[in-house]
Structure 1
Amino acid sequence: MKYLTKKLFLISTFMGISLASVFSLATTAYASSFYISPNGNDNNPGTISSPFLTISKAQEKANYGDTVYILGGTYTKFNITKSDANYNYVNNITKSGITYRAYSSKNIPIFDFSKVLPSKRIAAFLIEPGVSNVTFLSFQVTGVKVGTQKQSECFRVEGNATLNQVVCHDNEANGFYFVNHGTGSCIKCDSYNNIGPTKNSIGNTDGFGAHGDGVTFSYCRAWHNSDDGFDCLTSNGANTFDHCWAFNMNAGGDSNGFKIGGYGAGAPPNKVPIHTVKYCLSANNNAHGFYANHQPGQSATWTYNSAYNNKAGNFDMLERISRNNSIDIPGTREIVHYNLTYGGNAIKNSNLPSQNVSNNSWNKNGIVVSSSDFQSLDVNQLSSPRGTNGALPLITFMHLTSGSHLAGLGCF
């Protein structure tokens, strides 16, 4: 290994590119593929004709740069691979640089954890601290139980992971949960019908949770989860929400579309992060559409977002005075431009200077918003099937009519 590293260093110097790039090229050139199947066996060699059964076995054989292909069908046979005082971890990801992906987009694999009974909290997938560059692509997770626990999670990311076109649905657990120093991204992912069944869990079951060192969410959807669609309470790092939709959060928990900021009873970090919320849509939620959530400072820059019929207010800019003073105040530091709302209170808890809150539908001169400005107000369109390569569905909901005086506002 020492000789190989020295050789790669000489190559990188000669080619004028980074050692990391050369290492990536080298590992790609020698990458291997392994396969798992619901009908596989961990005593098999892991080939496409003789696949493994479990991700754990495939990970044991794989190395950085390798790909584990997940053959279609429903996976129901699981073992607990790691436990601690609070959790039973089913798939414990301990190696960096491995891709776990569906073999075919025409036969999407489903991991059904309904037979894994929760004597503790369950994490269906744990990405351990220090693990990086792990990719998950095109499969579904369902059936994760919570029992009498406060919460369980489909994906618990404490390292670094990219999740692309992954769907978490009909669980008693959080869908995607980045925590501690977890980082990464969710791209074209859906999280829906994840509902805590008890008083203890109903308010702890979100679609997406960004509570780590910074996560990017792009073209993701959350709907009908029992707590919030997207939640970044207690986050240490800045999160980005780009072209994401949150709607129909009405199953009994906090029920916000985007809960951006806040630290509850915990201590904020020395540098409070400022998040980015752009080109997002929040509709028909029982609480707030876009919520600054008691952030001790600016919660976010909010631009080109659309909100409809959120019962506690479409935008709520509630802040607290500072890191050391937890008294709540109407927001004074948020940046809010080019947003569009209809139905319900446009903005509340806002004491923003005019330069921070301009060119929005509620404060742009001469603007009056009515139902006739929109091609459709049918929220049901938002849960339509995705298009090719996981693209968001083509809809008319909150799209402006031709020649609308609202052009240039909102996410469409």
Structure 2
Amino acid sequence: MNFFRCKLLLIPAFIGISLVSALSFSATAHAANFYVSTTGKDSNSGTLASPFASISRAQQAANYGDTVYILGGTYRDFRIASSDANYNYVNDIIKSGITYRAYSSNDTPIFDFSKISAASKRVAAFRINPKVSNVTFLSIQVTGVKVGNQKQSECFRIEGNTTFNQVVCHDNEANGFYFVNHGTGTCIKCDAYNNIGPTKNSIGNTDGFGAHGDGVNFSYCRSWHNSDDGFDCLTSKGSNTFDHCWAFNMNAGGDSNGFKIGGYANGTPPNKIPIHTVKYCLSANNNAHGFYANHQPGQSATWTYNTAYNNKQGNFDMLERISPTKAVDIPGTREILHFNLAYDGVSIKDSNIPSANISNNSWNKNGINISDSDFQSLDVNQLSKARGADGDLPTVTFMHLVKSSDVLGLGCF
């Protein structure tokens, strides 16, 4: 139901205003709750006793600071909210400052878009408008998004500013989280898996997480068995941070990198090339590279305390280009790598990095000989275990070092 919340305006004492005077400046903010249910109706009032049926109707009623609670169940009946020349936007988020969240942590809302055809246009299950900021999604799942004969579709197309917490995109023919144009935001404890483009046209355009906008922070996220890359920041205009994220089992037929960090393909790089941060991350059992600088025309990233295992085209590949105006590939010279661990496969390739920038990694520590016995487990299947009650990454022993290992202290565990 609706409730009122008072905000105390804090005024420094040195300007001589007493607490009583300060209270006279207090602002009273009105925040409302609305509810959506699989058994609701959009003609309802939106209360818990009389919930709406759709996100679109709840957004129409809500304003900045309000919360839309989504009751558990599977939502399958949708109408197209808006369209342009290329896309049908099923849910078009056009208002700022609204939180969309599960009503109960014990009953996750599942949005199944398998009835929405992609025959005529691409599908964006949720689109966050470029003018929108401070939108939050918490504890929902998205599945069934179709691509048809289109080049790609998206579960979330983020062109504004959004925070995702414990949101899961799985078993789609579409990108999971797609930050594009000037999109920014945060992904915390999110998963993207089994998102596979079914055609030659789409298989190489279906990533778990795409950071192609003005900068995104990813923390404690997982990406696995998506048909293109786990995390991709091709053509990014802003700096992205990847912190305690896992990418594994990218082997469904596309580019198949764990972390593709940088690159502009045939596009024009921005005036200031962004430098990304990749720390405490894990990339394992991918058909291409584990951690990849991807032809960046400058430094792609600072890479610290990461672990790479059994990535078929190299665990760390630091391939760069000479400059933004000269698209000639060179072994990387500008990357910074410290305290990283690589095992099984080529540890590092395409690297001509000065020694000061690439120290204390498993492949360049003297007298080190790593074997299976250095690890508690090499079972990559542990990584897809269920998360903890608070959305924490699962407890695993995969790639955890034994206490007697010579490389203890390196990598993400």
Short-chain TM bin: over 0.9
Provide the residue aligned with 1:337 in structure 2.
338
**1:349-408 superposed Cα distances (whole Å, 9 cap, x missing partner):** 000000011000000111111100000000000000000210000000000112322111
CA distance in 1, matches of 2:387, 2:9: 44
C-alpha spacing 1:114/1:403, structure 2 compared with 1 (3 Å)? same
SS at match of 2:185: strand
Is 1:201 equivalent to 2:202 in the alignment?
A: yes
Which residue does 2:396 correspond to in 1? Answer: 395
Aligned residue type for 1:233: L
Counterparts in 2 of 1:26 and 1:120: CA distance versus 1, 3 Å: farther
Tell me, in whole angstroms, the C-alpha distance in 1 between the residues paired with 2:91 and 2:410: 44
The Cα shift of 1:251 comes to 0.2
Paired with 2:216 and 2:13, the residues of 1 have a C-alpha distance of 33
CA distance in structure 1 between the aligned counterparts of 2:303 and 2:178, rounded to whole angstroms: 23
**How far apart are 1:30 and its partner, in Å?**
1.6
Kindly provide the amino acid, as one letter, of the partner of residue 283 in structure 2: S
Flag the 1:334–1:131 CA change in 2: closer, same or farther, 3 A: same
- Matched ranges for 1:87-166 at <5 A: 87-118=87-118, 119-166=120-167
Letter of the 2:142 counterpart: V
- The one-letter code of the counterpart of 1:58 is A
1:321: which partner in 2?
322
State the alpha-carbon separation in 2 of the partners of residues 165 and 403 from structure 1: 36
Query: Which residues of structure 1 form unaligned runs of 5+?
Result: 1-7
In 2, Cα distance between equivalents of 1:189 and 1:16: 45
> How far is 1:26 from its partner?
4.6
* TM norm structure 1: 0.94
User: Displacement of 1:16 after TM fit?
Assistant: 8.9
Instruction: State the distance in 1 between where 2:374 and 2:321 align.
Output: 36
Give the Cα separation in 1 of the matches to 2:27 and 2:114: 41
* Offset, 1:164: 0.3
- Structure number with the higher helix fraction is 1
CA distance in 2, matches of 1:288, 1:406: 22
Distance in 1, Cα, partners of 2:247 & 2:14: 45
| Structure 1 position 49, deviation (Å) | 1.1
Query: Is residue 190 from structure 1 mapped to residue 187 from structure 2 by the alignment?
Result: no
Give 1:46's aligned amino acid. G
> Pairwise mapping of residues 4-403 of structure 1 onto structure 2 (< 5 A)?
26=27, 29-118=29-118, 119-403=120-404
Letter in 2 for 1:30: H
- Tell me whether 1:409 sits opposite 2:410 in the alignment: yes
Once the two structures are TM-superposed, the CA of residue 15 in structure 1 deviates from its matched residue by 7.7
CA distance in 2 between counterparts of 1:16 and 1:188 reads: 42
Shift in alpha-carbon separation, 1:180–1:49, aligned structure 2, 3 A: same
- Give the distance between the partners of 2:260 and 2:332, measured in 1 at CA: 15
Corresponding residue number in structure 1 for 2:20: none
Alpha-carbon distance in structure 2 between the residues aligned to 1:55 and 1:43: 13
2-side partners of 1:326 and 1:38: how far apart? Answer: 52
TM-score computed with the length of structure 2 as normaliser: 0.94
SS of alignment partner, residue 390 of structure 2: helix
Contact 2:9/2:27, CA 8 A, preserved across alignment: no
State how far apart, in whole Å, the 1-side matches of 2:12 and 2:383 are: 52
Distance 2:354 2:407 in 1: 23
In structure 2, the CA distance between the partners of 1:13 and 1:196, relative to structure 1 (3 Å rule), is same
Could you tell me which runs of 5 or more consecutive residues in structure 2 were left unpaired when the two chains were aligned: 1-6, 16-22
How far apart, CA to CA, are the structure 1 residues paired with 2:9 and 2:113? 47
Aligned partners of 2:394, 2:206: CA distance in 1, in Å?
25
- What letter matches 2:257 in structure 1? N
Q: Could you report, residue by residue, the CA deviation over 1:31-66 in whole angstroms, capped at 9, with x for unpaired residues?
A: 100000011100000011110000000000001000
SS in 2 for 1:148: coil
RMSD, matched Cα: 1.6
Partner SS state of residue 390, structure 1: coil
Inter-partner Cα distance in structure 2 for 1:354 and 1:373: 26
Cα drift, residue 14 of structure 1: 6.8
Give CA-to-partner distance per residue, 1:143-185, whole Å, 9 cap, x none.
0000000000000000000000000000000000000000001
Q: Which amino acid aligns with 2:406?
A: H
Detail structure 1 runs of 4+ shifted over 3 Å in the superposition.
Answer: 10-17
